Chains A and B, each alone.
Chain A
Amino acid sequence: MITLRVNGKQLQADVDPNTPLLWVLRDSLGLTGTKYGCGMAQCGACTVHLDGEAIRSCVKKVSDAAGKNITTIEGLSTDLSHPLQRAWIEIDVPQCGYCQSGQIMSAAVLLAEKTKPTDTDIDEAMCGNICRCGTYSRIRQAIHRAAELKAAGRSAE
């Protein structure tokens, strides 16, 4: 039995400790917002936060995630209020939507680290996430917009 802290909750899973975190989230805990795309850290669809860092959960052993804070797309906000979610709606980013959880989770770490990411910052942070529908230009636009929304939120506080 492995105890995990996911989106602020303590959860238990009876799995082989070598199981990738992705499959524990999806099959054992029912958190299916995190997606399987490649199984070898090539596409980024499975991106989650481990102690605030963006990681590819398809290649992360669940035993290495125990005792750390895991955040999935379901835990980003409860009400679509995260600046990235607001920007994603405003710019209408998704098409099929399958990669978008991973895109947003990668972008969230970028936004936490850089208040005003440049296009180069975006290229670097986001080039590990594939979008087959080709929403890249909107993702870029939405990250810039989220940075503005976040700054506006901060100045309002």
Chain B
Amino acid sequence: MNATTSPFSRRDFLKTSAAVGGGLLISLYLPELARATEKSTEVPAAPFAPNAFIRIGTDDLITVVINKSEMGQGPYTSLPMLAAEELEADWSKVRYESAPVDAAYNHPMFGIQMTGGSTSTASEWERFRKAGATARMMLVAAAAQNWNVDAQTLKAEKSFVIHSASGRRASFGSLADAASKLQPPKDVPLKDPKDYKLIGKPTRRLDTPAKINGSAQFGIDVQVPGMLTAVIARAPVFGGKVVSFNAEKARAVPGVKDVVQVPSGVAVIATGFWPAKLGREKLEVKWDDGANATLSTTAMRSEFAKLAQSPGLVAKKVGDPEKALAGAAKTITAEFEVPYLAHATMEPLNCVVDLKTDSCEIWTGTQFQTGDRMAAATIAGLKPEQVSIHTTFLGGGFGRRANPANDFVGEAVHVAKAVKAPVKVVWTREDDMRGGYYRPMWYDHMVGGVDASGNPVAWTHTIVGQSILAGTPFEPFGVKDGIDSASVEGAADLLYGIPNLQVDLHTPKLTIPVLWWRSVGHSHSGFAVEAFFDELAHAGGQDPFELRRKLLANQPRMKALLELVAEKAKWGSPVASGRGRGIATHFSFDSYVAQVAEVSVDKDGGVHVHKVVCAVDCGRVINPDSVIAQMQGGIVFGLSAALKDEITFENGRVQQGNFHNYPMLRMNESPEIEVHIMPSSEPPTGVGEPGVPPVAPAVANAIFAATGKRIRRLPIGRVSMA
């Protein structure tokens, strides 16, 4: 997907973003620089709508306006670092601010304002540095004018412009007004990386203080004067509808103000969350369960298994796998299964809406500003520019808050329309977990063949799973000839050099709402590919590390990373009694990750992950500590899924509801994690998601090493020791 094929209208822009009271506002867009617009209240329509990323006040404070949602992955620190590096800013003067919705803040690759795909750094790497460099050049030009000297004789350092020859110094703040009257430069050269002062240095997050004293505002914390709180009774089965409801008892609950039907169900509106929830408990709703009334995971699994026995639509074919398998010295077949998964962000979904006749103000933790605004405008009967979204901190996102169906925002606007007061819709944990938009269930049927020396000669991979992109505005770009790229990613782009390969896909049409979940398709392909590779290595009598090394001969970055992780994890050295080591690699979001897990299994089949050694090559690193944090987080996230979690259906109903039956890895189960970053001068690539895919197969392969038992289905739960 790229900007020129954006599914969203380029008309979607704000009239102004110049909320500046004196000082300098740097505006620019790529690929060409725009003129500064701080004096203008009218911004021309896209593609000339300028971006506005840096504000320098006369008080010397530097505000970097961030167009990426902060959900833990760190853009409120890493993007200011990019700007500050080129600006030559005093880092202690740098602040972050969440951007409004404006085409100027659109994702440079996706053409809409959104956060996802582990692309925040990669996509803003150039734009934020250029924004900083532009500001610096204008401040220097302003000083040159003031002092009547050649700009070439000046330098910027720690928020000052300095004329060494005369010893004159002027702070950025003192130059801000003068700089704001200048035209931005056309040619903005960027620094030589050897001169970086901030980029590449471990830097503390700017948002930590607010997150440890209760002051950080998440969507659920927003209070608006006169605001009511709504809790919604939604259909217990996906696609179900309200037949009728009796609100008499609900209305009798003290604090309940109203009960109204909305497209998604029946909303109970009260003075606060608790009375709204009590009111919902008293609400009587008759539902029509619809077509999914008999949906069951058991039936779906056998249907998927049946489909997997024959090839689907071919996504990738190299050589003649059928012939190669027929001629192989040995072939093996294995089937892998992963369940539906909920994102289970710590902050349950919520959205605050203040709807007036000519405006709609929204506060929420969203990853999908442009789409949510358009949906809100449509529902409210307003123009997109009459809708504003305040993106708060997100208490976790993992993809759930980037929903092309705009579920939690659209629903809240419907409630606001009915209530005629500012309203906060809060989802309970159960609502959130049963609310759909899951990582799809997948079934992978794999066949591999090795020659007499144990070298893989053929590999076929049949994938069965729902399409994430079908039915969304992204379908025209992500689904080609019936193949959803998200279903086959990590499988069709296999890095290993196997001469005969086929990857094919069945896409069953189910109406369970599915969505991207941290690492998307890689969350199943990483497991299936890397666990099967281990099986194939053993089938051919080869060490799984050595065989990977051999088949990565044409993939120097992954090969080097594999060697690094093996060295750090002491691959091949004796392991403590009862333990086993497993290795896995995976390429996703343009980054390379390799992991070694050290695992033991107790006599009851309980799995204990003692240590995970992780190596990552994500190109040039902006904030190494942030990369380490994302690998640590990805591993823990992946382990919850590998060991514990599944969403299952019985009679159309989701059987899980809260953390007692959809458990998370806890402190006492969290392994020691060691992260090694491969130094690189390649452009930066993703870190939010790539840590997830390798951990499940690394653990599965370690369980085999420890016990001889193969793991082919997640969650692992207890290993059968029979």
Contacts and interface: CB of A to CB of B under 8 A. Distances in A.
B159 interface: no
Interface residues of B, number: 63
The 10 closest A-B pairs by CB, nearest first: A33-B214, A134-B636, A98-B395, A97-B211, A95-B72, A96-B72, A27-B272, A32-B221, A123-B668, A134-B633
Interface in B269-289: 271-275
Interface string A70-97: 0011101100100011001100111111
Contacts of B205: 92, 94
A104 B208 CA distance: 13
Contacts of A135: 629, 632-633
Contacts of B656: none
Contacts of B208: 88-89, 92-94, 97
B217 interface: yes
Contacts of B636: 131, 133-134, 136
Contacts of B39: none
Nearest to A19: B274
Contacts of B215: 33, 74
Interface residues of A, number: 61
Given A88-B208, A96-B394, A43 B73 contact: no
Contact of B212 (A30, A88, A123, A133): A88
Interface in B384-410: 393-398
Given A23-B274, A85-B213, A30 B429 contact: no
B207 interface: yes
Given A35-B346, A127-B667, 16 more contacts: A28-B272, A32-B214, A38-B429, A38-B658, A42-B658, A85-B213, A97-B210, A101-B214, A122-B667, A123-B667, A126-B667, A130-B346, A130-B659, A134-B632, A134-B633, A134-B634
B507 interface: no
A140 interface: yes
A66 B494 CA distance: 62
B344 interface: yes
Interface of A: 15-16, 19-20, 23, 26-28, 30-40, 42-43, 45, 72-74, 76-77, 80, 84-85, 88-89, 92-101, 104, 122-124, 126-140
Contact of B346 (A27, A40, A73, A99): A99
A128 to B, nearest CB: 8
A16 B279 CA distance: 13
Given A35-B395, A97-B393, A133-B633, A80 B659 contact: no
B429 A39 contact: yes
A43 B209 contact: no
A34 B215 CA distance: 10
B583 to A, nearest CB: 21
A136 B634 contact: no
Interface in B211-234: 211-218, 220-221, 223, 229
* Most chain B C-beta atoms within 10 Å of own C-beta, residue among A98, A99, A100, A123: A98
B637 A132 contact: yes
A94 B212 contact: yes
Given A27-B229, A98-B218, A33 B213 contact: yes
